[in-house]
């Protein structure tokens, strides 16, 4: 389950191709310095975060972590989180809902408007 918009290519496409897409964007970032890529692990863990009993996102150490569910089933090692965070950065609910908007005032106004609907 995810909190953002559905992948335009569809879930099956991402299940099959996510490693190639992440690897391609890693190469763009690491070798060419392009940081604004289409597939980033930070975006994945933000959208696909799974909350534990304490209502906080679980880390990759938990069997409930989004990535681990399939990777454990397929017996595939995940090494992404040796360097990357396995949970999203701590953001307010408003920031998570409107993360594409950079201006804090715009984010707050959009959040308040959403509450009034």
pTM for the whole thing?
0.65
| Contact call for residues 87 and 78 (beta carbons, < 8 A) | no
Please tell me the distance from the alpha carbon of residue 5 to that of residue 87, in angstroms, as a whole number. Answer: 19
Which pLDDT tens digits describe the chain residue by residue (117 residues)? 666 678 888 889 988 998 888 888 888 888 888 877 777 788 888 889 999 999 899 999 999 999 999 999 999 999 889 888 999 887 555 445 555 555 567 767 776 777 766
Residues shown for the chain: 117
Please tell me the distance from the alpha carbon of residue 109 to that of residue 117, in angstroms, as a whole number. Answer: 13
Cα dihedral value 36, 57, 90, 44, nearest 10 = 10
Please tell me the distance from the alpha carbon of residue 22 to that of residue 14, in angstroms, as a whole number. Answer: 10
Give the tokens for residue 87: 């949970």
Give the tokens for residue 10: 């569809």
Q: How far apart are the first and last CA of the chain?
A: 24
């Amino acid at each position: 389950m995810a909190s953002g918009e559905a992948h335009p290519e569809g879930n099956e496409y991402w299940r099959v191709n996510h490693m190639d897409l992440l690897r391609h964007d890693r190469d763009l970032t690491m070798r060419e310095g392009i940081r604004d890529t289409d597939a980033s692990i930070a975006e994945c863990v933000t959208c696909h975060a799974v909350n534990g009993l304490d209502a906080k996102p679980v880390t990759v150490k938990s069997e409930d972590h989004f990535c681990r569910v399939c990777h454990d089933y397929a017996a595939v090692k995940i090494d992404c989180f040796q360097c990357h965070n396995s949970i999203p950065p701590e953001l307010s609910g408003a920031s998570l809902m409107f993360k594409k908007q950079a201006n804090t005032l715009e984010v707050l106004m959009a959040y308040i408007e959403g509450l009034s609907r």
